[in-house]
Amino acid sequence: MDLQTDQQITWCPGCGNHSIFGALKMAITAVVETRHGVSLHDVVFTYGIGCHGHMVNYLNTYGFEGLHGRPIPLAEGIKLANPKLTVFVVAGDGDTFGEGLNHFVQACRRNIDINIIVHDNRVYGLTTGQTSPTSDWGYRSKTTPAGSIESPINGPALALSSSATFVGQEVSSDIPNLTNTLLKAISHQGVSYVNILQNCQTFNKVNTVDWFRKNTTRVEMNGRSSLRADAINTVISSKLIPLGIIYQEKKPTYSDLVVRDKKLVEFDKLREYFK
């Protein structure tokens, strides 16, 4: 299955977006080829603004690139309008935890059945290297030349505290594990959030591929407590950044609970009342 368009890819050489793109293509191919009743026409992506958003030009699926910080509500609307679709959000750390922070929290607590894929390179890359909401304390950039004095947002911890039912985290350089976690996220019924730690080869000289290799460790649900509080403790207390499926819970989705195909307002009775 050819999921790549004929458009020239303009990401920097060595950018983590290349491997994320490859993992997504493999995951989508596996879903379409193995799931009965799912075709490529059932797959839709929404994109935010950032280097990641250029994927709308390269991935040969239905896609919509929205405003900065707004890909999540776009995806929610698509899913509510047509629940049969498999809907993805491709967003960045600035998209998701800056302008889009409220949308992220609301999607998690609603448990709407969409897949939120966050490219977290801890910097604003497209606008040439400013500190982002996930940049480490002390991170030096064009906007914080003396070092950031703000604590970074911990995406997985925020998702867990906002009632997300699937939380995973991977590094972009580990394509096999990233693909596997994406497949499990797609199979999950409810909101799925996968935070992808990636390098920005051009503007982030701190959080490199080698840095992530030295500062991460794999965790798995098997053999661990399935309590949300324990998962939160894992992501905020671990000396190394946890990778893998951090938490998963089965519960009704937003679409399961919303009222469908029913008159919500009896207009005839209202007209009679206000005569």
Give the per-residue pLDDT at 225.
58
Domain-located, residue 148: yes
Pick 209 or 270 by higher pLDDT.
209
Amino acid at 49: I
pLDDT band at 1 (very low <50, low <70, confident <90, very high): confident
> Could you report the per-residue pLDDT of 75-119, keeping only the tens digit for each?
999 999 999 999 999 999 999 999 999 999 999 999 999 999 999
Does the pLDDT at position 262 exceed 90? no
Domain-located, residue 7: no
Nearest residue to 29 via CA among 7, 3, 61, 5:
3
- Per the structure, the count of domains in the chain is 1
Domain-located, residue 237: yes
The alpha carbon of residue 150 and the mean position of all alpha carbons in its chain are separated, in whole angstroms, by 23
Does the pLDDT at position 223 exceed 60? no
Give the span between the Cα atoms of 129 and 150, in whole angstroms: 17
Question: Residue 202 belongs to what domain range?
Answer: 16-273
H-run or E-run covering 159? helix 155-161
In this structure, the number of other CB atoms found within 10 A of the CB of residue 219 comes to: 20
CATH number for the domain that contains residue 149? 3.40.50.970
pLDDT band at 258 (very low <50, low <70, confident <90, very high): confident
Domain-located, residue 5: no
Helices 175-187 and 16-34 meet at what angle, rounded to 10? Answer: 50
Q: Compute the average pLDDT of residues 188-210.
A: 97
Mark 112-142 as b/e (b = at least 16 C-beta within 10 Å): bbbbbbbbbbbbbbbeebbbbbbbeeebebe
Domain-located, residue 6: no
Domain-located, residue 10: no
Domain-located, residue 163: yes
